[in-house]
Structure 1
Amino acid sequence: MAIDRWVAFVILLLCLAYGYGAFFTMDELLPPIMQRRPIWPSTFPKVLVVGGIFFSLIILLGLEKAPAKEDGGDINLSRLGDYNFGQAFLLLGLMVAYAVLLRPLGFLASTFLFLAVGSFVLGERRYWLMVLVSAIAAGFVWYLVDSVLGIFLRPLPMFMVGG
């Protein structure tokens, strides 16, 4: 079985487990006033579960558009050394470092560093473009989360704000 079908099978199992929680256990403890509302806290998880099951079944049953040539989704175990595992492990390490450094460095600096170093790991060598895009993206996301959504994110490092 191709790798995409294995991934679809795992997603189907996850959706079934999550769907059990969304359909049968999430709404038991709601107060009566919440039970009369048209949208419950479990509405969005239910939509996600139905969509996930639908699309994973499409892939599992092979109803999606098949490739014209040989199946390129299979992992060729004889050419396992040709895959970029180094980049994948570096990006996973960057994600862990981002999570660890988010509080001490603040959102802006840690997000900027994650985006800049991540694009370098993926092969971008136009440094001015990496810096520009990383700075704009970090600032824009911080503005949206802080000002538009009203969720406080510490933008600066802890030592600059006394914390």
Structure 2
Amino acid sequence: MIHPDEQESDFTREGHSDATPGGAEGQRRPGELVFGVFLVLASLGLLWSAWGIGGYRPRAPLSWSGAIPVATTLVMLISAVIIVVQTARRPLTQDETLRVAVFPSQVLVIAGMIIAYAVLLRPLGFIPTSALFLFFAILYLAQRGVVFSLMITVVSLIVVWLVFRIVFTVLMPPGIVPEAEIIQFFRNIFAGGAS
């Protein structure tokens, strides 16, 4: 099965043109400038938040509880501004598109699946929602058939459930599966066999 992205001219470049950090040499890739501005805004927000830690004391600035967070976020802000200025100076590459370089169909489909997972988690519960998500994600990404996807889904879900629910005793949304009753059933079997 061929993904729609393979029709795009820059799909063949993906993974190959990016061998050097920063993307295409001397050019700005789609979305780079917007991401840089996002970094500046996020750094400003974190700096504002860090400034509010513990109340600033001008007589003892290094012993102030917010000194390290403020210094760190200030370095983040300065770095982000430098990145934005350098990125804005480079010409935009003409052989890549935002949809293929930043948002290929795989990213959009999986993002949609994650949103569906979040919406269905409470009403259906962890086990059925995770099973649906894993099955369709593996089916879509691996493209190896229903049987393969089903086997990987079942094994992965059992391992994850055992680790989080039994080993770490993390309570997950029960939903439509009577999880507590199933666990109690097996406890009764093992307790009866141990007598």
1:157 counterpart = 2:156: no
Match of 2:36 in 1: 12
Could you tell me which of 65, 73, 84 is aligned with 1:36? Answer: 65
1:110 counterpart = 2:129: yes
Aligned residue runs from structure 1 range 1-163, under 5 A: 5-23=29-47, 25-31=48-54, 35-36=64-65, 46=73, 49=76, 53=80, 60=87, 74-75=96-97, 90-122=109-141, 124-141=143-160, 143=163, 152-154=171-173, 156-158=174-176, 160=178
**For 2:52, what is the secondary structure of its paired residue?**
coil
Partner Cα distance (1:53, 1:10) in 2: 12
CA displacement at 1:13 relative to structure 2: 0.7
Q: Is the 8 A contact 1:98 1:110 kept in 2?
A: yes
Q: Is the 8 A contact 1:146 1:152 kept in 2?
A: no
For residues 10 and 37 of structure 1, do their structure 2 counterparts lie closer, same or farther at Cα, with a shift above 3 Å needed?
A: closer
Q: Is the 8 A contact 1:116 1:130 kept in 2?
A: yes
**For 1:6, what is the secondary structure of its paired residue?**
coil
Q: Is the 8 A contact 1:108 1:139 kept in 2?
A: no
For residues 15 and 151 of structure 1, do their structure 2 counterparts lie closer, same or farther at Cα, with a shift above 3 Å needed?
A: farther
Aligned length: 139
Runs of 4+ in 1 over 6 A off after TM superposition: none
Query: Which protein is bigger by CA-based radius of gyration?
Result: 2
- Cα deviation per residue 1:127-151 (whole Å; 9 max; x = unaligned)? 2321232234444455359955x76
Q: Is the 8 A contact 1:15 1:53 kept in 2?
A: yes
Normalised to the residue count of structure 1, the TM-score between the two structures is 0.54
- RMSD of Structure 2 on Structure 1 (CA): 4.8
Partner Cα distance (1:147, 1:94) in 2: 28
For residues 74 and 22 of structure 1, do their structure 2 counterparts lie closer, same or farther at Cα, with a shift above 3 Å needed?
A: same
Q: Is the 8 A contact 1:4 1:73 kept in 2?
A: no
Gaps of 5+ in 2: 1-23, 56-63, 181-195
Gaps of 5+ in 1: 63-70
Normalised to the residue count of structure 2, the TM-score between the two structures is 0.47
For residues 140 and 13 of structure 1, do their structure 2 counterparts lie closer, same or farther at Cα, with a shift above 3 Å needed?
A: farther
Partner Cα distance (1:160, 1:151) in 2: 16
- Cα deviation per residue 1:24-66 (whole Å; 9 max; x = unaligned)? x11243346xx538875x899x49x57x849x66x9377xxxx
Identity %: 19
